Amino acid sequence: MKRALLLAAACAALSPFAASAQTLSSGPVVGAGNTLLSISAEGKSVRTPDLAVFSAGVTTQGKTAGEALSENAQRMTAVIAALRKAGIAERDIQTSNLSVNPVYGQPKRLPDGSFEQTDPVIIGYQATNQVSVRQRKLDQYGKVIDTLVSAGANQVNGPAFQIDSPDGAMDEARLAAMSKARARADLYAKAAGLRVVRVLSISENGGWAPPPAPPPMFARADMASAPKASPVAAGELEMTVTVNVSYELAQ
């Protein structure tokens, strides 16, 4: 009985080392005399965008914060109403920025060209309200922007063209990447007098992401006299996927 207990204790003490050994050997293992080949390949697919994301808003100034914000609220209400009238759904309009900031006067320039060293003086306040908009009818995008400017928007940022449901295009790029990886593996194997036995591991790097929006563009007062529909070209979007595949090669 005592011997059995000692044997059980010894097995318990060794079990953590056994688990550790299993963890260390969890990577790809090739057969004796075989070769490990790692391939990185890129696949692409091209789609026409079906979504344009942009922001529009109003910036106003006043002697007090309340004055600037009050005028801003009035003009922004008209801008949002114009979006709804243009057919933009409620779910596609989201406030992205609402802020009130002081406006400081410029320091007095001295005769020697330097500026007078005084504490900044607040001469007014600036209120900004912006909404992020998803435009689903791309052929109406230019018309919507012109309508917003006419309604009082003096800030326009975008568009960033996107694909509403990119999964299908991404899967197409994945298949292309895997096909390219296998063709490249066969090429290397043939050159080395070997053959591809099996796939050991597959991993994916990165993927498609919506392009960043361009910096804000402030609408000028004379934009109200612009053409009825500003020209917009959506072009194409390219989805890219990179896969890393490990193969086992043998004679």
What averages of pLDDT result for each successive group of 10 residues across the chain (251 residues)? Answer: 44 42 57 93 95 96 96 96 94 96 86 78 95 93 91 92 93 97 97 96 77 47 50 89 97 91
Q: Identify whether 82 is part of a domain.
A: yes
Within a domain: 65? yes
CA–CA dist 104, 87 (Å, integer) = 40
pLDDT at residue number 214: 47
Residue 76 lies in a domain: yes
Output the pLDDT for position 27.
Answer: 63
C-beta of residue 145 within 8 angstroms of C-beta of residue 219: no
Q: Where are the alpha helices (H) located in the chain, listed in sequence order?
A: 2-24, 65-85, 141-151, 167-191
Q: What is the DSSP letter of 231?
A: -
Positive or negative, the CA dihedral 147, 153, 155, 157 is: negative
- How far apart CA 38 and CA 185 sit, in angstroms, is 8
Phi and psi at residue 9, in whole multiples of 5°? -65, -40
Picking from 163, 133, 143, 141, the residue whose alpha carbon sits closest to that of residue 50 is: 163
**What angle do the packed helices 65-85 and 141-151 form, to 10 degrees?**
150
Dist. CA 200–CA 191, nearest whole Å: 20
Which pLDDT score, from 0 to 100, does residue 4 have?
A: 47
Which residues does 112 contact at the CB level (< 8 Å), separation at least 6?
Answer: none
- Which DSSP letter does residue 55 get? E
Residue 37 forms part of a structural domain: no
Q: State pTM to two decimals.
A: 0.67
Residue 125 domain-assigned (yes or no):
yes
| Count of domains for the chain | 1
CATH of the domain at 59: 3.30.70.2970
Is position 45 within any domain?
no
Contacts of 145 (CB under 8 A, 6+ apart): 54, 56, 156, 230
Residue 87: inside a domain, yes or no?
yes
Q: List the domain range (segments joined by +) for residue 97.
A: 51-164
Q: Is residue 226 one of the residues assigned to a domain?
A: no
**What pLDDT score was predicted for residue 208?**
60
Tokens representing 229 are 């529909």
